[in-house]
Structure formats: C-alpha cells, structure tokens
Structure 1
Amino acid sequence: MAKEIERKFLVKHESWRAEAGPGATMRQGYLAAMDDRTVRIRLIDGESARLTIKIGTGMLTRDEFEYEVPLGDGEELIASAIGTVIAKTRYRVQGETHVWEVDVFEEPYAGLIVAEVEMRTENDDPVLPDWIGQEVTDDRRYSNFALATRDDKQRPDISPDGR
C-alpha cells in the first residue's frame, strides 16, 4: 500500500521563484468523496491525466494510489467533477533537505500559494526555507478537496500568515 506523508505551508514571499523549475499547469477535480476517502482526476499541462485515490482521515499521512489514464478519459471525468475544478501551476523547488512543491492557484483562489513537502516518515524534519510561512497541514480549509467543494463563505484566508 502506498503512503503519502506530507506537510503543507503557506508561502510568505516570492523568493522561491529564483530556485524553481519550470511550472506544470494542473486542473483537478473530485469525482467522489466520503469522510475518509477521495477520488480525484488531474490533468497536467493538457498532455496527461492521473486518477488518484486517497484513503485516511489524517492530513499528514494517508494511503494514496495513483494511475495514469488516457487524456480523453481524464477530460471526460473532469467534466463530471463535483464542485469547482481547481486550476493551479505547480513548481518544484530543491530545498536544503527535501524537494518542495509550490502550488500557485488561479481563480477563484488567485493569490493563494501553498508549499508541500513529501517525507519518507512522519518523523522527517525538513529544513524550512525562509519563504515558508504558517503550517496548515492540519487545517482542512487548505486541502485541495475543501477548496474544490466549499462555498465562498467557507473560503480560507489567502494571506501568508493565514489570518
């Protein structure tokens, strides 16, 4: 069983861009959800599609299964997504000890920038770059699923300090 162990942070400032690789544009939508699982489709650069199943109630560690699907199937599936299809550009940034994935969101969440770091164990202690802001790992408002399915009254603050 594949495990995803990741921490999530808001981004304080743009200095990460100097170290970022080229961005990948992503559109992702959720096809099904229960209290402890989600099924997501993600289109990447309009060239590939991945179906992902996440199982677990924790925000730090979950079981994750990911599969390549034909692009045409992905486009049909995303048309059936519940809620809002999330649009963002993802950049990879090599940190001192870990690779960071920085997501720059488009409307309706323009201005929101979130950095995630995947770890091998829950005890990993990645060195936090100076552009890392408040940790939001356990704040469900910043999960992509919550962003896709909430209404405007439930929107998280997009400022780097989470206020």
Structure 2
Amino acid sequence: MAIEIERKFLVNSDAFKKEAINSYSIKQGFLNSHKKRAVRVRIKKDIGYLTIKGKSTKDGLSRFEWEKEISKTEAEALLKLCEKGIIDKTRYEVKCGDHIFEIDEFFGDNEGLIIAEVELDSENENYEKPNWLGKEVTGDIKYYNAVLSKQPFKTWKK
C-alpha cells in the first residue's frame, strides 16, 4: 500500500521511442471504475496484476494505490468480468535524469493518444522534462484509463 504521486503529460512527437530502454504491451480492464475507487485487472509481460486505486487529490497529483501480482490465467479470467472497454496499449520506459518516464501509446478505440507519466517521491520534486513532453494533463480525469475505457479518445470532439 502506498500513495502514488505522478504527473501526466501529452506527448508531442514519437522521438521517445528512440530513447526507450524498455517496451511491452499492456491489456487492462476495470472491475469497478467508480470516481472514488477503481479496481483494475492488468496483464503486463505475461504477468497479471490486480490494482485498487483510491480517489485522487483535488490537483490530481496523488492517490492511494494497492497492487497484487496474480497469475496470467487469473487475470485473463478476471478480464472477462470487467466493465465494457478494455484498454490496449504499449508502454515505453525512458530514463530522463533521475526518473523513468512511462509513455503509453494507445490502440483500439484510444488509438492516436499518447500519454507520458512520471512518478515522484513528493509533489514538489524537481524532474527533467524531455523535448517530446507536451501539455501537462495531471488531474484531468478524461485521461485516466478508467475514463478512457468508457469514453475513448476516438469519441472526443476535436
């Protein structure tokens, strides 16, 4: 159990792909996507995870997070029980200074959306910003995966 502190950004180019130190596919769904809590099932690198996230602070910088590793078989079974709207994405990890940025390139109904996140130890922690980092969207709930599963990027009015 921990408090997760992260900042979220749009990405303005695919230059991050050349800088990636790792990449892998993620498939995830939500057993519950209430605004006060989300229960997520995820398969990442053939490992399953069950995650519970609490309500974000007003600024969207932090929230409670609990995660437990489960088998891929268990995760596949739980994905069948999830609410409509499975998230399919590739995650890239890019080291920048003392931090690792996680960049998610979405597919399916969220294709065209690329979001970068950086986890911090405190809300005021300094971090280097790579050139491909765009507008900050921390706290904008439409970019939360639980919301993207119900209101995908392809349905947004441009």
Distance 2:153 2:100 in 1: 32
Assess, with a 3 A threshold, how the Cα gap between structure 1 residues 114 and 63 changes in structure 2: closer, same or farther: same
| Structure 1 alignment gaps of length 5 or more | 158-163
Q: Secondary structure of 1:14's partner?
A: coil
| Counterpart in the other structure of 2:149 | 148
| Counterpart in the other structure of 1:89 | 90
What is the CA deviation profile of residues 91-136 of structure 1, one whole-angstrom value per residue up to 9, with x for unaligned ones?
A: 1000123110010101111111110000000111211111000001
| Counterpart in the other structure of 1:62 | 63
Matches within 5 A, 1:63-142: 63-142=64-143
Cα pair 1:141 1:155 within 8 Å, conserved:
no
Distance 1:48 1:151 in 2: 25
Cα pair 2:11 2:114 within 8 Å, conserved:
yes
One-letter code aligned to 1:91:
Y
Task: Tell me by how many angstroms 1:142 deviates.
Answer: 0.6
* RMSD between superposed Cα atoms in Å: 1.7
Query: Percent of counterpart pairs with the same letter?
Result: 38
Cα pair 1:6 1:116 within 8 Å, conserved:
yes
One-letter code aligned to 1:25:
S
Cα pair 1:8 1:115 within 8 Å, conserved:
yes
Q: Taking structure 1 as the reference length, what is the TM-score of the superposition?
A: 0.89
| Structure 2 alignment gaps of length 5 or more | none
One-letter code aligned to 2:100:
V
Distance 1:102 1:123 in 2: 21
One-letter code aligned to 1:27:
K
| Counterpart in the other structure of 1:12 | 12
Cα pair 2:6 2:118 within 8 Å, conserved:
yes
Cα pair 2:102 2:117 within 8 Å, conserved:
yes
Distance 2:120 2:81 in 1: 32
Distance 1:129 1:116 in 2: 12
Moved runs in structure 1, 4+ residues, more than 6 A? Answer: none
Q: How many matched pairs?
A: 156
Q: Which moved more, 1:65-74 or 1:55-64?
A: 55-64
Cα pair 2:32 2:38 within 8 Å, conserved:
yes
Task: Tell me by how many angstroms 1:12 deviates.
Answer: 0.5
Cα pair 1:142 1:156 within 8 Å, conserved:
no
Task: Tell me by how many angstroms 1:15 deviates.
Answer: 1.4
Task: Tell me by how many angstroms 1:155 deviates.
Answer: 2.8
Task: Tell me by how many angstroms 1:156 deviates.
Answer: 7.0
Q: Taking structure 2 as the reference length, what is the TM-score of the superposition?
A: 0.92
